[in-house]
Every structure is written in C-alpha cells, then in structure tokens.
Amino acid sequence: MANTAALYHRGTLDALDLLRADHDKIRMLFKEYDSLRERGDQDEHKSEIVDEICYELTLHAMIEEEIFYPAVRTALGDDALLDAALEEHTSARELIAQLEEMYPGDEHFDALLDLLEEEISDHIDREEAELFNAVRSSGIDLVSLCGLLIARKDALDDDLTAPPLQAEAQQPHDGARQPPRAPN
C-alpha cells in the first residue's frame, strides 16, 4: 500500500486507477488459484489463495460501498447503475461466506469458486466499461476521492471492523433516515 500512497501524493493516481489496480490484483489471484488447481497442488496453498481472494474482495467492496459509490451516486444521479453494482456485491458476499466455511477438496468448493470468479469478472468488466467511463466524464475530483479510498483501505487493512473515519461517514441519501447497510 505504501507505493499506492506515494503515487497518490505525487498526484499520479486517482480513484479509478486505485480501483482498477484492485481489480487486476483480484484477477491475478483467481488465475493463481486456477494454476494451482491445474497442477494439482496442495489444498493448503489453495486455501491461502482463496483466503486472500475473499479478503481482497471484501476490502475492495467495503471501500466502494462506503466511499466510492455514494460519491458517484451524488455526482451521476444514476441509481440504476449503482444499484446493480450493489446487488452484485451482495451476491459476491454470499458466495464468500459459503467459501469461508469450506476447504479446497470439499465437494462443490471449486464450482463455488468458479461461480464467484465468473460473477466478479462480469462485475469488473461492467464496472470498468460503464461506470468508470461515466465517472471519468462526470468531473468528480478523482484524486481527492483516491485519498479517501486509500485512508479507508489502510484503516480496514489494519482492522476490517474499523468504523468509517469521520470524513468518510456516509450521509443518508434519497431521504433515507439511515445510510445504506455496510457490508458483512
């Protein structure tokens, strides 16, 4: 994360770059697991990779849901696009919860991981093609937004149950009394 922060402070990293780097890391982890599966490597190493996939997905989803999506919703006013992304996050969380109770070698483990990989791949493709293009042309200050994402990611990396920082606290939207539900 230190390299990411350095790039941000030099003004060469924005929120979309940061999220895209997360996407690339997640894709790489899925490929690494697939490679282990093809080689028939030990289940312990596979388990470590799956734990990392689940962790990275959880961390990424939290910063998007707590900071990125609310900022984008305000700037774009496109509820349908963001509601679909949140539904995809919910589906991924359900699959992650199932995987966290299983081990490589368990019946349906690989099938469940394949389903997660497919859903995440589709989500990433749609997000980068549709949402990122809309955000890029919206005029949002993506460098400042990146700073918020990095700060929250650092806090969550230390403790996934860390409450949002005051500057990042979500504001209720669309007349709701409470902000949207935080991820599990």
What is the pTM for the complete model shown?
0.82
Residue 62 has pLDDT above 50, yes or no: yes
**Residue 131: band (very low, low, confident or very high) from pLDDT cuts 50, 70, 90:** very high
Residue 160 has pLDDT above 90, yes or no: no
Q: How many CA atoms lie within 13 A of 63 on its CB side?
A: 25
Contact 53, 30 (CB under 8 A): yes
Tokens of 108: 């349906």
Beta-carbon contacts of 29 under 8 Å, excluding residues fewer than 6 positions away, are 49, 52, 53, 56
Lowest mean pLDDT among 110-119, 129-138, 169-178: 169-178
| Residue 12: predicted pLDDT | 74
Lookup result for tokens 């669309």:
174
- Which of 121 and 106 is assigned the larger pLDDT? 121
Per the prediction, the chain carries an average pLDDT of 85
Tokens of 171: 């504001």
- 14-25 pLDDT, tens digit each: 999 999 999 999
